[in-house]
Amino acid sequence: MQLPAYYEDLTCQRVNTTPDRAYYIPASAELDDPVERREDSDRFVLLNGAWKFRYYTDMTRVADDFFLPGYDANGFDTLHVPSVWQYNGYDSHRYDDSEYSQPMDPPFVPWENPCAAYVREFDWTADPAAPRAFLNFEGVDSGYYVWLNGEFVGYDEVAHSTGEFEVTDKLVEGKNTLAVLVLKWTKGTYLEDQDKFRTNGIFRDVYLLRRPANHLRDYFVNTEPTDSGWQVRVRMNFEGGAVEVGAKLLWQDEVVDQAVCAPLADGGEYTHVLTLNVTDPHLWDTEHPNLYRLELTAPDEVIVDEVGLRKVEVDGIVLRVNGQAVKFRGVNRHDSDPETGPTVDMEHMRRDLRIMRRHNISAVRTSHYPNDPRFYQLCDRYGFFVMDEADVEAHGPLALYFEAPTPAEQRDLLDRGRANIIAGNPDWMATILDRVERCVRRDKNRPCVVMWSVGNENGFGVCIEKALEWVKGHDPSRPTHYEHLSPNDSRRQDDHSNLDVLSRMYYQPKMLDEFVQKHPPKPLVLCEYAHSMGNSAGDYEDYWRYFQSREQSCGGFVWEWCDHSVYKGKTEDGRPIYLYGGDSGEQAHGGNFCVDGMVSPHRKPHPGLLEYKNVNRPARSEWKDGVLTVHNYMEFVDLADLADVEWELTCDGRAVQSGMLDLPPVAPGAQVDVGLPLNVPAAGKCQLKITWRQKRGTDLVDAGHELGFDAITVANADGANQAAKKLWQQTACGQLKVEQGQRYVRITGADFAYEYDRASGLFSAMERGGRKLLEKPMVWNIWRAPTDNDCKEQVKWRALGYDRAFGNTYSDRIERDEDGVKLTATFILIAHGRQRAVEGEVCWLVDGKGDVRIEVDAKLLDGLPILPRFGVRLFLNRQLEQVDYLGVGPLESYPDKCRASCYGAYTNTVSNLMEPNIKPQESGSHKGCDWLELSGGGVKLTVAGGQEFSFNASHYTQEELTTVKHYHELEHSGHTVLCLDMGQTGIGSESCGWAMEEQYRLSRELSLKLKLNFEVE
């Protein structure tokens, strides 16, 4: 099939589409719910469902007449629309982060350009009151030609924006044949280089709208405060000729005001206007998503919309909504489902928003394209700020390569080339502007949209400048955004005058002050930060502290909401099979870089989401001398109206006092002191937990839902855990027999026998009551299965052999006294072919009861990279499944990832401790422990700390977690593998960011103090 090559023509953005307009659904009478039930409109004809479908490897294979009525489609399959063909067995899956999936030869595409033919028959009956018909495609990736009843309708190619065609003169009474040819690659693909699985097809709804001959075409709602209240101004234009439009503004079914449109003398593209006044306004914000009902009535047609009264403004360096400075508690969200890809329905969108709100997220960046128009209506209703981003991402030019005499010249040459190939190339101006305009025009009436973003990671240049200029001219009521600073052309002075905010990605808090000082004074937003890949979320608290301490900061958007994957069912034992980049035979791909979400592909929250939730709790408190100081960090609601407050004092994990706090009014941003006397025990580790709970239920959050908590350490005379202190200090007398060999030392008591390896300085065997306690010898442990955030550090760790280090002793002493047998050795940790990593001394004490105490004093040698962990590893019987501990839980906890957990007594199982990351890695550890019990199969191991320790219990070895690529491929080791550590290095977010802060790294001074007690039945 040969067609006009619109898909490579930069002068042709579309053919025969109608002018862009705001999204709405007309009807002949008022719709009760135009958001949830748009199909109730008699003017809305949905064309979703079973379509005839055929996939081709290139256009030359498509039959020239497939679009004609009566064409024999026996060779076609049946495909449900909306959907994408890769998730239905056609073509292959491919994930790319930044590289193009097609050759980088803009605006051209390969001759072998896969495509698919779609055919749908439907019945049509004309409506005399609404004789005109408009065909809408809400999302098609990437470009598409349309025919109706054999006649060419038009062409369009912006994947995530609506394309509308008038088809009045092509429809017939009765049976009609709609045909579409979808291309995989177009010139538009160069601007759709988003970090996601690359998919194609008609992936959003297709429908027809019936309209009167003359009708309201577009309208633009603006709201502004006045001296007497608020004003709602509606500008409009018409198709076919102006008609009288009457408007009603209703609040909870009561008419607030009504008006009739009048000509607008100098409105430009809008020819008429009407004004509605509100004297007793109910404002829209994230805590009070108040919406007025707007009814626009014209001859033979009614349009119902929802209006929020809110004003967004940049006040110097502060971003304000309704006069209040705001901090985005945001997240970047892709349309992504593991079974349908980018095709998501209303329940999917609603579920995402429900989970977000229950975890204190109240802002969304639509990375990196406009979402389904109903997503914004849901955000209006549920109270979410939205940064609406145009479908403009030309990330692929980062792959450009040039050589130059010096590195500096090469860098400059690369930046110029990358910026100028598209973003700085005037030839692309119309194409980029078209995409930005579509985004703004469609979503302009949504109160949730508080900022326009003209794209993502294109570099900077004249096309971006013009896009910003157009947005500011068309809608000055909202600020503009673009993360724009690299790459750019050093030969020109970029024009940032139409950019209202400063924006950065992944900068650490300590880098941001220097950044803002180099740029004009504007609000600062982090459009992406805290990369949530695998075991992540190590720096949320540091970012929160920065946001709150800087007036200029308006918060940010975590990258990203969900793990992207392709779901392939479950294993025999019920584990989900998720595929990522490279699992479908792609030669070039982004690996598991798409597995970087706060929730799993099926929306199970990861621990990092819980971490984010508690860092962003609505309030924080401090206790001192019987007074609780409470600070409200919400922006639009009094804390007393939002939350009920519970308090509980615990000592060594046991509750000793509790109650409800009578909270007085606490205005947004304010703090109050509340009396809270406590009866603090003189001894034990004491903690006051303040829990904030939702006072009243909302559409998304039930009453009583936990909004967050504070865990406050309460000082006393002896703050040590008393049970651990007692076990650590006590020793038992008993007859011990010591048999000293050249390598092994055997220590035998009344019912136990231990074998000590003088070569390693650890025990190689332990038995009690005829039961084997160790399945394998103990080993020193300085390795962890690399997290995704260890991607850079682990290169150094491997180079030093941390992953294969072993212990070697140089001198030892075996002594006996009244406490038992003491085994002392100097040791090193080293790998074959590598230098020493650790030097130290280990001392074991075995008492007459068989309890074993270990004390280690060691250090990491100078000049070596910080260890991921330091401790010992025990291989126990797999039946030791029950876990009870006193430490920081119940979620996994690390030095920089512990804000969603607190010190307490917890019970779990070994099988449930590990987080099922799609790509296996270190997870499930717990810091700050004083006490641990593992039990099962008639054996119990108790561990008490002479100092706080960290533990990890799993049925998988570190070696397997290091090498296996997918969670569903892991094989049970046959053991319960127990890691007892001084601690671990933190988690950070270096998978797409900067190196971890020094305070979260493991100390170079290493120590371990543990007491082990085995009991058998």
Catalytic residues: 457, 528
Q: Which residue has the tokens 């797409």?
A: 992
Q: Pairing between strand 449-453 and 385-389? A: parallel
- In the numeric block, which tokens belong to residue 762? 């650890």
Let me know: does 1000 contact 538? Beta carbons within 8 Å. yes
Alpha-carbon gap, residue 741 to 696, rounded angstroms: 71
Q: Which residues contact 492 (CB under 8 A, 6 or more apart)?
A: 424
CA triplet 929, 931, 935: central angle to 5 degrees? 120
Helical spans, DSSP H, in 263-391: 346-358, 373-382
Let me know: does 461 contact 424? Beta carbons within 8 Å. yes
R_g of the chain computed on alpha carbons: 32
Let me know: does 307 contact 221? Beta carbons within 8 Å. yes
- E strands, 818-958, are 820-830, 836-846, 852-860, 869-877, 882-889, 902-909, 926-936, 939-954
Let me know: does 881 contact 911? Beta carbons within 8 Å. yes
- In the numeric block, which tokens belong to residue 948? 């706080």
Question: Which residue from 227, 228, 187, 249 is spatially nearest to 396, judged by alpha carbons?
Answer: 187
SS3 string of 677-705?
CCCCCCECCEEEEEEEEECCCCCCCCCCC
| The residue type at 258 | Q
Chain-centroid distance of CA 241 in Å reads 47
Let me know: does 927 contact 895? Beta carbons within 8 Å. yes
Question: CA of 874: how far to CAs of 637, 837, 953, in Å?
Answer: 52, 21, 10
Residues facing residue 222 across a β-bridge: 233
Helix 373-382 with 346-358: angle, nearest 10 deg: 40
SS3 string of 554-569?
EEEEECCCECCCEEEE
Alpha-carbon gap, residue 765 to 773, rounded angstroms: 8
Q: Which residues contact 524 (CB under 8 A, 6 or more apart)?
A: 317, 501, 502, 503, 504, 512, 515, 516, 550, 552, 553, 554
What is the phi/psi pair of residue 129, to 5°?
A: -75, -20
Question: Which residue from 897, 735, 760, 916 is spatially nearest to 823, judged by alpha carbons?
Answer: 760
In a 10 Å sphere around its CB, with 0-12 CB exposed, 13-18 middle and 19+ buried, how is residue 949 labelled?
buried
Q: Which residue has the tokens 């912006």?
A: 158
Question: Which residue from 115, 122, 92 is spatially nearest to 201, judged by alpha carbons?
Answer: 115
Residues facing residue 50 across a β-bridge: 80
Chain-centroid distance of CA 345 in Å reads 19
| The residue type at 607 | P
Chain-centroid distance of CA 481 in Å reads 20
Residues facing residue 816 across a β-bridge: 821
- In the numeric block, which tokens belong to residue 572? 């025999």
Let me know: does 505 contact 527? Beta carbons within 8 Å. yes
Let me know: does 788 contact 921? Beta carbons within 8 Å. yes
Kindly write down the DSSP assignment for every residue of 419-461, as one continuous string: HHTTTT-GGGHHHHHHHHHHHHHHHTT-TTEEEEE--SS---S
Q: Which residue has the tokens 């709208």?
A: 209
